[in-house]
Structure 1
C-alpha cells in the first residue's frame, strides 16, 4: 500500500464481559449502530459482506464494505477485508482475562476516498485523532451494551 496509508492498534478492556459475549457482539455487525455512535448504518450485502457507514467528529463519512475473512469463536480471532472508502483489513483477537476480556484490534488501511487522499499530508494528525475518538466511543459503547 502506498500513500494515505494508516496502521492503527487499540486495546479494549471489558472487565465484566466474558470472551464469548464479546465475540458475539463483535461479529454482529448489524447491531453496531445500537452501541457504537459513530457507526451510522449497516446494510447486509450478502452472507459474508456488509456495507458500514461511519461518521465521527470530522465532517465526512466513510462507506466501507466489510467482507468476513475469519471468524473463529474458539480462538477468538476475527478478520474482515475492507473495500470502498478504505481498503485493507481489520482484525480482532479476544483474550479472556479473569471475568473479563481484552480485545486487541489491528487495522491496516489505505484511504481511497478522494478527499482523504487529497488532504492526507496536511490533515493526517486530524484523521488519526478522529480515529482515536471513534475507537474510544466504540469501546465505551460496547462496554455499556454488554453490561
Structure 2
C-alpha cells in the first residue's frame, strides 16, 4: 500500500514522499517508470494524455513530455516532465513545469522479491484555481495526490504482472481508469 507524508512551506507549496512495494526486479521497474511515454497506458487513472517532445540522450537525460493529468478530484493539470538525471536501476530525477512546477526523484532498491520505490515530489501550484484555493483546500489537494499515488502503485503492480504473463496478458485485470472521465475528453 502506498505510504506518503507531506510537509509544506507556503500554501501553494507541496512536498510528498511516497513509498511503494511491488513484486518485480529493478530492471522491470526501471523499464516501466523510466519510460514516461507509456504512462497513459498503464496508469490511465492519472495520466490522460502523454505527448513526447524530446527523446533526450541515450541515458534518458533531456527526455521531455507534455502531460495532461488528474487525480480523484474533478480538475486536470497540464505540465511538462523533463528527465534531469540518467535513468538507472537506482532511479532518476525530473522537473515539472506548467500547472505544477518543481522536482521529483524516483529511487529504487531491492528487498527480496520486491522493489521498494520511493518518490520525493516537491512542487508548487501554478494553475490559477489551485493557487487561489490552496490555502483553504490544501488537505483536499493533498488527499487527491495520495489517491493518485495509490492508483499508481496498483497500476504498476498490474503492469509488471501483465509483462510477466507472457502469452496470457488478458488474465491480468486492466488498471483503474480516471474518475470524472468526461474531463479526459476536454
Please report the TM-score for the alignment, with normalisation by the length of structure 1: 0.94
| Number of the residue aligned with 2:116 | 102
Q: RMSD value over aligned CA atoms?
A: 1.2
| Residue pair 2:25, 2:110 contacting (<8 A) in 1 also | yes
Work out whether 1:7 is the aligned partner of 2:15: yes
Shift of residue 3 of structure 1?
Answer: 4.3
| Number of the residue aligned with 1:65 | 80
SS in 2 for 1:102: strand
Q: Relative contact order (alpha carbons < 8 A, sep ≥ 6): 1 or 2 greater?
A: 1
SS in 1 for 2:78: strand
Q: How many equivalent residue pairs? A: 145
| Number of the residue aligned with 2:127 | 113
Work out whether 1:38 is the aligned partner of 2:52: no
**Aligned-partner Cα distance in 2 for 1:129–1:81:** 22
Structure 1 spans left out of the alignment, 5+ residues = none
SS in 1 for 2:86: strand
Please report the TM-score for the alignment, with normalisation by the length of structure 2: 0.75
| Number of the residue aligned with 2:28 | 21
**Greater strand share, structure number:** 1
